[in-house]
Amino acid sequence: MTVVTTSRKPLPEVRSLSRDLAFAIEGEYVTRGKAGMGDLFSLDDSILIISRSGPFYLIQVFSNAELAAEITVRSFAVGERPGVIARGLFVSDRSVYDALRDHVNAVFAGETLPKHRIVFDGTQRKRYTLEVVP
């Protein structure tokens, strides 16, 4: 099971995004607190760290204590989810899909989504749309 966490002192929006991302991929959200990288790697082989870096959001994917991928997100929007919940991440960018597919439940949806997007359903009827920097 993939562990999702945040930077050490996250903004509330980063914490909410991380929790709902963990829910979408059926992973485990862990509050970071003062936990170091060694503490995180002892929890699971696959770790996602969500943080804010200037005007962008950053998703770092670690596998076996090594950085496997970094995905830069320009912005994200949260809307109301219509209909039935869909588990997993729906990705329209092939390079982002290739970076995620071995670590989380991801589906390539290039034909149905605008370019450079990640879409997933969170808790409480929320649907997230992330705009990825190409």
Q: Spell out the domain ranges in the chain.
A: 3-132
H or E stretch at 58: strand 56-63
Q: What are the tens digits of pLDDT across the range 21-48?
A: 999 999 999 998 888 888 888 899 999 9
CATH T-level assignment (fold) for domain 3-132: Rossmann fold (3.40.50)
pTM recorded for the entire structure: 0.93
Q: What does the angle CA 109 – CA 1 – CA 43 come to, to the nearest 5 degrees?
A: 135
pLDDT band at 114, cuts 50/70/90? confident
Euclidean distance between CA atoms 63 and 65, whole angstroms? 5
Mean pLDDT of 6-16: 92
